[in-house]
Amino acid sequence: MAHILAIANQKGGVGKTTTAINLACALAQTGRRVLLVDCDPQGNASSGLGLRISEPDKTLHRVLLEENGAPPLHRPLDELSLWMIPANPSLAATEWKLTATPGSETVLASRLKPLDERFHFMILDCPPSLGLLTVNTLCAAHSVLIPLQCEYFAMEGLSLLLDTIRKIKLRWNPSLAIRGILLTMFDRRNNLSHQVATEIRKHLGARVFETLIPRNVRLSESPSHGLPVMLYDRHCAGSRAYAALAHEILQKGADRA
């Protein structure tokens, strides 16, 4: 059975997509079969792995709005056991149409079910909002990973996200767990980064992953080459950090396979 992990935070630019791509690929590098689902109309996870798909029929659109037929699985990289359901800007209209569907919150959960046996992990990259697409990912997921950027105001908005998670647990998905808070864009030469990381650990304690994701230029360069960081520069700090995160997640038992 696949473990479904949503990468969520309604703030933009905190490292959700970078984490979704590189964690999915780091898990695939350990030999797990991983499905990455791009749930953001911006389609950054798709283009970051070289998939620019214009036909809605070959994207998440089809999964959400067409009950029948096989989901459009792409294989962006030959080297890795990674599959992907991509997105493109038409997903914004899909979200709007989805609101008219009865049980619109749990459509993604039911459409991913038939894929359950084929993968060890499904990683869902969320848009920067708490709208229906994010609600769908939280209804489908076993757990949530919340990236927080090591900047002032990092925790701003976190209580709203935690409150949304609580409501989703009550209404649709009682076993939804918070897999962890991930500190991203940590700059060890910057005092503020250290202060913010200490403060977040003080407030959120054991929920915070031990792995810190450093600010690393390779992480920001690799999507423009359509590659995860470990295939772009396997020795850089970003590659090592996402490998460590995958290891920490496997050790903490998210691997249900």
Q: Which of 219, 229, 236, 254 binds ligand ADP (CB under 6 A)?
A: 219
138 binds, among ligand ADP, Mg ion, none (CB under 5 to 8 A by kind): none
Q: State CA 203 to chain mean position distance.
A: 23
Number of residues located near ligand ADP, criterion CB under 6 A: 16
Give all strands of the β-sheet with 208-214 in edge-to-edge order. 82-85, 34-38, 121-125, 3-7, 143-149, 177-186, 208-214
SS3 253: coil
Stretch that binds ligand ADP, among 83-91, 116-124, 163-171, 210-218 (CB under 6 A): 210-218
Neighbours of 211 (CB within 10 A): 18
Nearer to ligand ADP, 136 or 216 (CB): 216
220 near ligand ADP (CB under 6 A)? yes
Instruction: Count Cα atoms within 13 angstroms, Cβ side, for 112.
Output: 32
213 near ligand ADP (CB under 6 A)? yes
Q: Which of 4, 8, 14, 140 binds ligand ADP (CB under 6 A)?
A: 14
Q: Which of 90, 211, 216, 239 binds ligand ADP (CB under 6 A)?
A: 216
Q: Which of 9, 10, 17, 239 binds Mg ion (CB under 5 A)?
A: 17
- The first and second tokens of residue 229, run together, are 């960081």
Strands 177-186 and 121-125: unpaired
61 near Mg ion (CB under 5 A)? no
Helix axes 16-29, 237-251, angle to 10 degrees: 70
CB of 117 to ligand ADP, least distance (A): 29
What is the C-alpha to C-alpha distance for residues 97 and 111, in angstroms, rounded to an integer?
A: 16
CB of 68 to ligand ADP, least distance (A): 31
Q: Which residues bind ligand ADP (CB under 6 A)?
A: 12-18, 44, 128, 184-185, 213, 215-216, 219-220
